[in-house]
Amino acid sequence: SEQLKSKGSTVKLEEGMLLNCSCPWSGKLIMVSWTNAIYSTPIAIYHPDYGVNFHPAYDGRIEFIKASALDGSIRVTNVTEKDEGVYHCSVQTFPGGSWSKETRVEKQVNITNIPTVLAQNPKTRLIVPESETVTIDCSHAGIVYEVSVEKMEGADGRSSLLAVCKQDADGVKLIEYLPSGNVNCSDEMELKLRLNNVSQDDGGMYRCNFSTDAGISSNLVMLVMFPSPKGLSGAQYTWYIYTGGGVAGALILVTVALLLLWRSR
């Protein structure tokens, strides 16, 4: 899945190497998940209530440091050349939302760090005029225990949590933090965020996060705003475009007909 990533770092491949993953803000830790490119499932998961879980290849080799409340850093032991590669950590927090970072493990480390990387290909791109209503759909094909939506605020990974849908003993529970618009959460754990009377401030990147048996996955949704002509609503603007296109098409047909008539003389 596509994700917004904070500034990454490079670590030398060595015994007891430390992979840093310390969330820069304060709040309550929900879960930490580590993945790499080799395995399709997370290599390490930490949950404050349910403890830790490790991929068989890393069981007994990874230790969560927990130096602070929102620290998801790990130490890796019994290191081999197979441990070289890119590792990705994701820290889920409340109320700040999620934060992620990439760490590249190499035999030889360059002096310069990996630059800040922004996801360039969001899964969904919505292009809408101002003053209209738009719906951001967060859905996942597999079994989902919790889904949240947040708006990304900057390249450092900071975000604003807008809504959370989670399953509990009484069914699906919805928690909203949105000052405007509304949220709907279905029994199938599909979250729909509706934004009313949107403006340029609503434009930007939104992220849907899904908690599953395999860990946390995310989808990015890009909302692109464009101004409507003054005094026109979105529906009127659409009519305006189609009418203008029809008039232009008629003028072209008349011009072609006159040219054919002139050449036939």
pLDDT at 253 over 70: no
Residue range 144-168: mean pLDDT, rounded: 78
Question: Does residue 60 have a pLDDT over 90?
Answer: yes
pLDDT at 247 over 50: no
Q: Assess whether pLDDT exceeds 90 at residue 78.
A: yes
- Strand, helix or coil for residue 190: coil
Q: Which segment, 2-6, 186-190, 239-243, is predicted with the most confidence on average? A: 186-190
3-state secondary structure of 234: helix
**Sorting pLDDT into bands at 50, 70 and 90, what band is 111?**
very low
Taking residues 241-262, report their average pLDDT.
Answer: 53
pTM over 0.95: no
- In one letter, which amino acid is 211? S
Same fold, 9-106 and 124-226: yes
Q: Would you say residue 118 has pLDDT above 60?
A: no
Which residues lie below 8 Å from residue 168, measured CB to CB, with a gap of 6+?
none
Residues 24-44: tens digit of each pLDDT: 888 899 999 999 867 767 899
Which among 21, 19, 22, 46 has a CA at the least distance from the CA of 32?
Answer: 46
Number of helices (H), then strands (E), in the chain: 1, 18
Mean pLDDT, all residues of the chain: 77
In CATH, which of 3.40.50.10470, 1.20.1260.10, 2.60.40.10, 2.60.40.1730 is domain 9-106?
Answer: 2.60.40.10
> To the nearest whole percent, how much of the chain has pLDDT over 70?
72
Q: Is the pLDDT of residue 109 over 80?
A: no
Query: What distance in Å separates the CA atoms of residue 239 and residue 98, rounded to the nearest whole number?
Result: 41
Beta bridge partners of 134: 195
Specify the pLDDT at position 228.
Answer: 65
Residue 145 has pLDDT above 50, yes or no: yes
**Tally of CA atoms within 13 A in the half-sphere of 75 that contains its CB:** 8
> What pLDDT sits at residue 113?
35
pLDDT of residue 181: 62
Mean pLDDT, residues 145-152 taken together: 85
| pLDDT classification of 5: cutoffs 50, 70, 90 | very low
Q: Kindly tell me if the per-residue pLDDT of 22 is higher than 60.
A: yes
Q: What does the block give as tokens for 143? A: 């079994």
CB 194 within 8 A of CB 207: no
Domain boundaries, the chain: 9-106, 124-226
pLDDT at 238 over 50: no
Bigger pLDDT: 130 vs 245: 130
Q: How high is the pLDDT of residue 125?
A: 85
Q: For the structural domain made of 124-226, what CATH number should be given? A: 2.60.40.10
CB-neighbour burial class of residue 66 (10 A; exposed 0-12, middle 13-18, buried 19+): middle
Is the pLDDT at 137 greater than 90? The verdict is yes
CA dihedral of residues 102, 5, 208, 134 (deg, nearest 10): -170
Could you identify the residue written with the tokens 């992979």? 19
Q: How many CA atoms lie within 13 A of 208 on its CB side?
A: 25
